[in-house]
Structure 1
Amino acid sequence: MVSWVYATKVFVQYAGTFLFFFNFCGGIMTIIVLSTDSTYRRKPCTFFMLISAIAGCIQLLNATLARVLAAGFNIDLTRTSSVLCKLRQYSYAVAPGIAITCDWLSVIGQYLVTSRSARLRQLSTMKLAYRVSFGVIVFWALHSIPFFFFTNIQSGTCMITNLTLQAYFTYGYFFTFYTTIPIIMQITFGTLTYRNMRMLQNSHQLQGADQQLTLMVCAQIGLILTTSVPYAIYYAYSLNTAYLNKTSQRKDLENFVGNVLGLTATFEFGGSFYLFLAVSKRFRQQVKRCICWFRKRRNIVVPRTEAIQTISANPATKQ
């Protein structure tokens, strides 16, 4: 008989550790590339991607690394420190909210750029992108304050103690803000953006950079849908069967499946980098430039200033 408890621990230890570093490195590289290329810095779409990548890295540290340490190595500081417990739950609500919101805002931004309507294209400005991003950050920071105050340690577990907030976190936050709205927005505007791209390609009005950026957005949509939807389905299943009498074997199996799908879902916070490499030539070129820059920095020889003492010998005077 398979020991699902042991299988879960081994999977989290090895696969979880690999996925964390794989996605975290991808997120860091995305931040570096999007923030160092002058063309990317001038586009609202990639600015939203940059904000999403930063929030995604925070989420990987807060949730994925914490899951790996807790389930794989039995290290969970939130069980002993109420402050860390509250901060983790607060960050767990803020970071993914910002990341997911900026993901579908980047799709809308690219839809505006590829629109044939001049009025819609005029809405795609960096000034508006800055304002919207600031509003998104403020919204999620204020929205998540109740999670800080109504989270505490009970029976050795860091959890939300308010029943109303628990229900809101499940149905209002997870299924509405985290799953339903992003999926609807990304499918809708992703389809419209792809249609605009095809129309502009036929009329030879779409520039190469915008075409590659549209492909990056579409690839990101596919990644998010394929990683987040399975975990959302599992989460809905676990809620609907929470009050059933289950054998310990079934509980352990469901816990294993939940860890597999939960860790796989972290691809949406760092896996985009590898898709961008595959679909965008300009992105690959910028990655090469960044790597070459790092290599040059490592090969620079820093001269050491040594103090040279001049010893002046006084010749003996003959008498």
Structure 2
Amino acid sequence: MRKMVWIVILAALAWSGWWFVASTSLRSGISVWFDARKAEGWQAELGEVVGGGFPLTLQAGLRDIALADPDAGVAVQTSRLDISAPAWWPGDVTVALDDAPIQLASPLGRSTLVMQDGVLALNLHPGTALELETLGWTSGPWQVEDAAGAQVQADSLTLTMVQSAGPQYDFTAQANQFAPGDAIRALLRLPDSFPRAFDSLTLQAAVTFDTPWDRRALDTARPQPRRIDLHLAEARWGDLRLNFAAALDIDGAGTPMGVVSLQAENWRTMLDLAEASGVLPNALRGQAEGILQLLANASGNPAHLDVELTLRDGNIYFAFFPIGPAPKLVLR
């Protein structure tokens, strides 16, 4: 019996020592990462790192965080970020976001994200590279707002990124009751009778990158997409129905090549919205409508579009007719 007691005591001491070392390493690793970003020219401010979670959990509470990547022109500021992981494998990480407003900045402008119960869950492969196996982001009600008011909002958010093989990842995204804010509705000149929220907004895709996502994605360079299989991108909003599918290869310069399938119902309503918002100049309305009418007639239903677009040589084509330049697909 005495021997068993000593075994339990030694095991408890060994576990306590392991927990202390792992907890200290987690907090010091975060501080080292922030210092490394500063050395690279980032703004990387961190007020303090609070530990805890003994005996089964490693916890690090980050307070007063400000990060800005000058190369990407992206910045984020939040008052808290809580990281936790099981002590037996710190590679299964849960990050709880702050319910208070999170300040965002990008080349598109400044905005604020307010998200209830926002949680990021990461599963990493063992090893020093910390290669990403799965990533999930879920939340309750959320909204993005700027000085003009709410830009977009939704009742929930679900994003997943799951490694299927090497640098290939499967993506899914869904936002329930996704709704543009009043500023966007005013810009589009939507009548009050137009639905406030999308009926459906979902995405399913498989993306192959040039390298797997691991710690180098933050420390050095982002993995770049080399193959995109867009199984479904669906948006349903009132009378509007949009479905996309695509199979694209992307070269080293970010130029996509392949086929994009587009299905659109009530496409004239889309033209009305584009013209009302100023995206489509009034002088080009007739030309755009004529082209889309030809495409709709070719699909067999003048009210619906069902077409395939080809991307090659840096341009978008319908059959042999060039439509415009293809976008560059580069992650910065």
| TM-score normalised by length of structure 1 | 0.24
TM-score (norm 2): 0.24
The structure with higher relative contact order (CA 8 Å, sep 6+) is 1
